[in-house]
Structure 1
Amino acid sequence: MEEQEIYLLITRYLQKETTTEENEILADWITDSVDNEQTFEEIKLTWQHTEQIKLEESTIALARLKNRINHQQDNKAKTKKLVPFKWNAVAASVAIIGLFLVGLFYLLKPNDSVPTTYSVLKTRAGEIKTITLIDGTKVSVGPKSVLRYPSVFNNSERNVSLDGEAYFEVSKNPHKPFKVNTGDLTVNVLGTHFNVNASRNQILTTVSLLEGKVEVNLNSDKDDAYVLKPGQELTFNRANQRVFQRNLDSLNTLGWMTRTLNLSNDKLSDAAVKIENMYGVKLIFADQPTADTRIYAQFNGDSIEDVLTIICASGNLEYKKQGNKIYLNAK
């Protein structure tokens, strides 16, 4: 891919106009060499400063960048050479100049330090959001969850933090591991599909692997690593510091993404947490026996009214709905 084409692709990516296939192409190009990665990060930083730069200053920056690239090309004997920069094509493309050259003045200033900026994605009860990170990794964030991620990953690793539940489809990069920190544990991957359920409000933290390979480290004991294979999951109990590793049930693991819930002799109080997150409601029990009622039922995208009707039929209960509050008691 010629330099003009890759620069156009980068600017379209920064405008959130690229397709999933284009994101994968860009991710492959970035990981192809250190030079590509540095070029991408420079353009990304430039984009962040665009609104702060005067147009006449960008002209100076453009000349300085041209001299810099020409100088680098003369010293590329030991490294992969870049395709000669087509200044005529760039000059003719107003879109390219406007999108990523404005602001290079600040970028090229000596001793200019740009701190990493972070974004936070939050979801409400009953809400699911999907985001594509700068490296092409796709993350589906579950209800009542918080994902914190950097605008640009550093040169050695890709770190994000999670409070709640999310499903990750990590873009492969053997030179830059992807890490998810939950507070209790850290998941280390290169490129894979997995689910993490780790809320500060619950005792259990679970990592479920659907595809690829992951390594899980407890933050309290980073010397002890647990390797998961596809179809396995690891659960950490914060209360007693115990670790459990077993085969996963993909239907239950990813049920939150499609409002699928399979209850097989589950306590209603245990199922209540999932129901509340899925539908944005609050279940209130009349007494402990009601909360301990065992339920047999399966739901797949049903309305909250249908879910309550089936639960009550299974457990010989009745309910009353007031706003988002649902009161349950025995008949």
Structure 2
Amino acid sequence: MKTQQFKQLLKRYLDESASKAERYIVDIWYHSFDRDHSGIVPGIENSSIEYETGQRILSKIQTSNHRKGWYSWQTLRVACSILLISTVSLFFLLKPKDHSGQTAVIFKTLPGQTKKILLRDSSVVWLNANSTLEIAASYSEKNRSVKLSGEAYFEVTHDPQKPFFVAAGPLTTKVLGTTFNVRAYPASRFSKITLLTGKVWVTVKAPGKRTGGVILTPNQTLQYDLLSHHAKTQNKESSIDQKAWTTGKLIFDDTSMDEVKEILKESYGLNMQVISKKLNSRRISGEFRLDDQPEYIIKTLCKLIHAKYTINGKTIYIQSK
């Protein structure tokens, strides 16, 4: 969405001429900011115009949600700055129409970026690197449905009257209120859904058929092979490592080499090429920080599998010693 378009949208919001879908877009954009926004819009000075405009936006959102004291002055400055400064880049886009014919909100992250998104019903979504989340304009009014490409961790507010649906490729997850992680990158052969708490119902729509569904209980993972169209469930003692990336950790727990390649590509934009075929069967265990230098991670991984590496730009070549 271009900055000028968004400025016009905010103007309609303040003039009370915005449609219900447009009001929702402003609400979800405003709610998505964390409490600490220092540095999001650098170089913007306080002004009475910013303060007045911010107060008007805040007043309308508080009135519609009956939730006072939620936003900080930093958040007001962000809202006003985007309204007044035409050079600010927005972190979400508008898609002309969703499946219901209404405007949808789309959040995107780049490699190495994560984003915390607060939905209208107080559910929280952590969007991992190089991922896209599409939220229907009718979210929470008629249904609670989102569409994911990439990886996200969900903390869903319980509402037995409105189940929460996540569509990710051929997988659709239905929940009432729970915490779970979905990994479904388009370039990956495998899609995974891991349940941490509660219970979810997963259906798979394979070419020419649709499964009856699988119920997952805590610490279970459903893995779907997009090539063979085969789904299987796995049990673990704990699935807490599945949400480690939301706290800045990178954990490999008996992880296949193919998945290690995918994670390094999504997190750092690196293309890892394993030259020695026998290394492709190795599995990796280890813990890092997402802000660790990529070469440090590569060097450590090579020590674990007794390999050596060379770097050419964004491509890492791994081979046996």
Normalising to structure 2: TM-score of the pair?
0.63
Residue-pair matches, total: 235
Q: Is the Cα contact below 8 Å between 1:262 and 1:298 reproduced in 2?
A: yes
Whether 1:123 aligns to 2:117 is: no
Q: What's the offset of the Cα at 1:290?
A: 4.7
Structure 1 unaligned segments of length 5 or more: list them.
Answer: 1-13, 16-41, 51-93, 101-113
Q: Is the 8 A contact 2:25 2:105 kept in 1?
A: no
Number of the residue aligned with 2:243: 254
**1:152 and 2:138 aligned:** yes
**Does the alignment pair 1:306 with 2:296?**
yes
Partner in structure 2 of residue 140 of structure 1: 126
Structure 2 residue 211 is matched with structure 1 residue 235:
no
Q: Given that residues 21 and 102 in structure 2 are in contact (C-alpha distance below 8 angstroms), is that contact kept between their aligned partners in structure 1?
A: no
Summarize deviations over 1:245-294 as a string: whole Å, max 9, x none.
Answer: 22144254234333322354x553442222222222221233434544x2
Q: Find runs of 4+ consecutive structure 1 residues off by over 6 angstroms.
A: none
Pick closer, same or farther for the CA change 1:165–1:48 going to 2, 3 Å. closer
Match of 1:205 among 180, 191, 197: 191
> Secondary structure of 2:222's partner?
strand
- The structure carrying a bigger helix percent of its residues is 1
The 3 A distance-change label for structure 1 pair 328 and 216 is: same
Distance 1:155 1:168 in 2: 19
User: 3-state SS of the aligned residue for 2:302?
Assistant: helix
- How far has the Cα of 1:196 moved from its partner? 0.7
Q: In the TM superposition, what whole-angstrom CA distance separates every residue of 1:69-114 from its partner, at most 9, and x where no partner exists?
A: xxxxxxxxxxxxxxxxxxxxxxxxx9489848xxxxxxxxxxxxx9
Q: Corresponding residue for 2:79?
A: none
User: Is the 1:156–1:175 Cα contact (8 Å) retained in structure 2?
Assistant: no
For 1:242, the aligned partner's letter is: H
Q: Are the aligned partners of 1:204 and 1:237 in contact in 2 as well (CA < 8 Å)?
A: yes
How many angstroms does 1:155 deviate by? 4.1
Alignment partner, residue 204 of structure 2: 218
Contact 2:195 2:239 in 1 (8 A): no
Q: Paired residue for 2:274?
A: 285
- Structure 2 counterpart of 1:234, one-letter code: L
**TM-score normalized with structure 1 length:** 0.61
CA distance in 2, matches of 1:299, 1:261: 4
SS in 2 for 1:173: coil
Match for residue 261 of structure 2? 272
Whether 2:195 is the aligned partner of 1:244: answer no
The alignment partner of 1:210 has SS state of strand
Give yes or no for contact 1:283–1:328 (8 Å, CA) kept in 2. yes
- % identical aligned pairs: 27
- Which structure has the larger Rg over C-alpha atoms? 1
1:182 maps to which of 155, 168, 174: 168
